[in-house]
Structure formats: structure tokens, C-alpha cells
Structure 1
Amino acid sequence: MISLPIKRVSPVHDGQQIPLALTTSELPSFSNFVVGLNDEVVMALRNFARAEADSLIFLYGQAGTGVSHLLQASSHLAAELGKKSLYLSLAEPGLNSKILKDLDFIDHLYLDDVQSIAGDENWEEDLFHLFNQFRDGNKCLLIAAKQLPEQLSVTLPDLKSRLSGMVRYHLKKLTDKEKSVAIIIKAQALGLKLSSEVSNFILTRGPRDLRELMQCIHKLDQASMISKRAITIPFVKQTLDW
């Protein structure tokens, strides 16, 4: 389902309209995720949010495939259903492993970018105890990384064993046709009007990584709002320096 754009009101600063960073329709959700060949994964994460499936899941996928998007979408759904839900990226600068010791009040926990803490003794030890806590308490724990558990540089054998024993899902990359759909969805969420010619140009000339591609759309949106110009191919070339 394609989410409908909502009207945005931007504050005025130094005579220019400054775009708001995020709108409701841009928040990660299942409705604005392009599924591609990932129907099984999406269904699993929907059911996980409803506590109707496996309670210990390991999701892996390369950068730009939408792993973080899906984790946050599932977390939002769990919260809407009245669950105490938390999404946490372990790649966030300044995080301390002690944060994992105070999460006993959480029903659904989503830990992203676990590869970022692999090899750190304190993180691995605290994650191991957290895993046991959620497993023994029949709570829902979803761990995500860019690689399979066996490929992570985890040095604590018991933790590697726990991760390897989780139900696992692989998030596959989108095809170019599916990326084109993702561009359209993002543009509509921002209230942008993109012709098929401009959309195809962005897809052809833009980065292959989907996350970077979406950042290009955001940059075009901001530049268009400030300059009050329509998004044409010359405008794209000028704004993105292509």
C-alpha cells in the first residue's frame, strides 16, 4: 500500500522556508516498505509485533536493504498494539553496554546493527545475559545484523551459540524496478511530483544503495522547497552535482 502524502507546514527562517525533517507518512512502517521478494520476512515481523510467531528472531541483510526500516516498522506496530516496545541501534555513538541491563520492563525489543559490538567483551557478556532474560521470560527479542550469526566476529562462544540458534530471516535486495517503486513512494510521502522521466534518471544516475538513494530524494525535496522550483532533470543535475 502506498502511503498518502500529508500537508507540511515549514517554519520561516531568514526569509527561506526550512523543510521539516520528518512527517508522519515518512515514519518507517509496513505500508511504506517496498516488499519485493521479502513477503515471508515482512509477514514474520508483522506476526512478531503481534506476538503471534517466534519470539526470538535474527534478521540479516546488507546495508540499504531496509533492515532498520522493518525493525522500526515492527516496533511501531507493537507499540500501537499496546506492547512496551523499544528499537535500539547498537551502532549509535556513545552507547554503553549497561543499557542492556535495564530493559526488563520491555515486551518487544529490537536490537539493530549487532555487528557493531561484535568482539567487545562487555557488550557480548551483557547481550548474552539479556538474551537469556528475554528467552526465560518468554519475551520477544529481534536481533539484526548485516551478516549471518556465524559470520559475526563474536568471541563469546555461548553468545554465538544463542544467536545461531535463533529463527533467522534474510532480507533480499530490491531489483531496479522495485527501487523505482520505492522512489515513487518516498516522493509521494514528501508531497513531491516526479515525472517518470525524472524518476528513471535518478534511478539510472543515482547510487545503488537504497538508503543513499532515499537521501537524494530528501535533498531534492529540501532544495525544491527552498528554491520553489519544480524537480526537472536539469534541477536534479544541479542539486546533486551529477
Structure 2
Amino acid sequence: MPQQLGLDLPGITALGRDDFLVAPSNALAVALLDAWPNWQGGKLLLSGPAGSGKTHLAHAWAARSGARIIQASAVAEDDIPALAEGPVAVEDVTDIAGDLARETALFHLHNLVLANGHSLMFTGDVVPAGWPLSLPDLKSRLQGATSAELAAPDDTLLSAVIAKLFADRQIMPPPNVIQYLVSRIDRSFDAARDTVARIDAESIARKKPVTRRLAADILDNTL
């Protein structure tokens, strides 16, 4: 079964739906993505920490729906009527909280996309109820919208993330390396990415393969 983890990886990162690893921490989000175009109200809100797969799922949906993907921070500079001619995914909506001009532009985009019969996906780093938006009209449009949270990874998903990060660097460590890292690092995708990058760099510097001992040396000196 193809597996992927929605991360910004140093090698080639597949962003297709079939490349996304489904685990309990993201199963609801994937199920809702697959339910398109039957989204209630024509929109879906995704939340989760950096590297949790929001961008991957946005790209997977865009490939299926023909949606354009934009950063919320750029929405005020974009051509809203042109954007609204098709489905749109707006990433990192929480980044514009308190910026009235950008929130207003996002409000108009939201209304026009839906008025044109298209779909919307918004992403943010916390659950939508915690998005600190200041424009009441925008907040009211998002209340009650279908949403899903990409949670912190469980052991299965974190193991797969680490294995994929190593594989994208053409490294195939022994299984005990991955088991050891899962038990030691913070339970986040950013921690997995940073740890694998440090291990890879140290392996190259020492001209030694990636082993549990090498991983332990690095973690003991950095944690």
C-alpha cells in the first residue's frame, strides 16, 4: 500500500491522495476529504500542527477538484473574482488573524466561491473554534462548518513518518533505530524531521551508517 506523510521533505515528496498514510490521528480528515463534493455547505476546515498533513491533503484535494491553493497571507493581493471561478484551498488562515484587510478579502472570497457553486478548504494550526479571527462576518460564516483535526501522531504514524524521512534521504536504517526514535523524540512531525536531518548529517560527517548507537549519541547530546 503506498504511504506518505504530508511533510516538507528533503527528497521527492509525493502529494497524491494514494500516497497519504491513514492512521487514527488523521482518519476523520481523510474520510471528509474523500467525501467531496458532498461537503455540507460546500466547505471543509482542517486543523493541525505544522507538518501534520494539511498541505498534503490540500494538494490531494486540489488534484481531484481542480482547486487553486493560496496562502491566506496573500489573499488580499489576489484577484478575488478570478480565484472564485473555481474551488479554492486557503492555507494557514490563522496567520491572518487580526489583519482586517486580509480577513475582509477572505470573507469576500468565501462568499463568492460558494455563490459560484464551488467548494472551499481552509486550514489552520489550531481547531477552528480557536481561530482568533476579528471580523465577525467571517467568524459567523465559519461557525458550524464541517471540520477535522489532524492530531499528533500515534506510534504507528510516527514510525512511518520517520521511515519515510529516512527513505527520502536514501537511508534504510535497522528497525531498532526507528523504534528507538519513536520512544525518545517529541511526538511531533517537526521533531521527527529535525531528528532525521541531524542523524543524516552526523552519519555523513562520521562516514558511518545510521545505527541505534549513532542515534543515541545524537539524542543524548541534543535532548
Scaled to the shorter chain, the TM-score interval is 0.7 to 0.9
Which blocks of at least 5 consecutive residues in structure 1 are unaligned? 5-19
1:210 equivalent to 2:189? Answer yes
Q: State the distance in 1 between where 2:79 and 2:192 align.
A: 33
- Alpha carbons of structure 1 residues 72 and 212: separation in structure 2 relative to 1, 3 Å: farther
Asked if the contact 1:57/1:141 (under 8 Å) is kept, the reply is yes
Matches of 1:235 and 1:100 in 2, distance apart? Answer: 52
Percent identity, please. 23
Give the letter aligned to residue 34 of structure 2.
Answer: R
Question: Residue 184 of structure 2 aligns to which amino acid in structure 1?
Answer: R
Q: Deviations over 1:151-202 (max 9, x none)?
A: 2221211100111142222223321233113222333344321112111222
The answer as to whether partners of 1:60 and 1:170 remain within 8 angstroms in 2 is: yes
**Partner of 2:30 in structure 1?**
42
The verdict on how the C-alpha distance between 1:209 and 1:3 changes in structure 2, with shifts beyond 3 A counting, is: closer
TM-score between the two structures when normalised by the length of structure 2 = 0.79
Q: 1:27 to 1:226 in 2, by over 3 A?
A: farther
Verify the 8 A CA contact 1:3 1:188 in the aligned structure 2.
no
Shift of 1:137: 0.7
Q: In structure 1, what residue type is equivalent to 2:77?
A: K
Aligned twin of 1:14: none
The answer for the alignment partner of 2:91 in structure 1 is 112
In structure 2, the CA distance between the partners of 1:111 and 1:222, relative to structure 1 (3 Å rule), is: farther
Partner of 2:61: 74
Distance in 2 between residues matched to 1:29 and 1:189, nearest whole Å: 16
Equivalent residue, structure 1, for 2:72? 90
**Letter matched to residue 11 of structure 2:** L
Q: Is the 8 A contact 1:88 1:111 kept in 2?
A: yes
1: distance between equivalents of 2:144 and 2:79?
20
Contact 1:32 1:185 in 2 (8 A): no
Decide which of 1, 17, 22 is 1:30's aligned counterpart: 17
1:173 is aligned, of 137, 143, 152, to: 152
Q: Using the alignment, how far apart are the partners of 1:141 and 1:224 within structure 2?
A: 44
The Cα RMSD (Å) is 2.9
Distance in 2 of aligned mates of 1:73 and 1:221: 29
Work out whether residues 33 and 182 of structure 1, in 8 Å CA contact, stay in contact via their aligned partners in 2: no
1:227-242 matches, cutoff 5 A: 228-238=207-217, 241-242=221-222
> Any conservation in 2 of the 1:86–1:106 contact (CA below 8 Å)?
no
Instruction: Tell me which amino acid in the other structure corresponds to 1:45.
Output: L
Q: Is the 8 A contact 1:86 1:110 kept in 2?
A: yes
Aligned residues: 215
TM-score, normalised with respect to structure 1: 0.74
Partner of 2:128: 149
**Distance change >3 Å, CA 189–CA 22, structure 1 → 2:** closer
Higher helix share: 2
Q: Are residues 44 and 148 of structure 1, via their aligned partners in 2, closer, same or farther at CA, if it must alter by over 3 Å?
A: same
Decide whether the 8 Å contact of 1:35 with 1:42 is kept in 2.
yes
Q: 5+ unaligned residues in a row in structure 2: which ranges? A: none
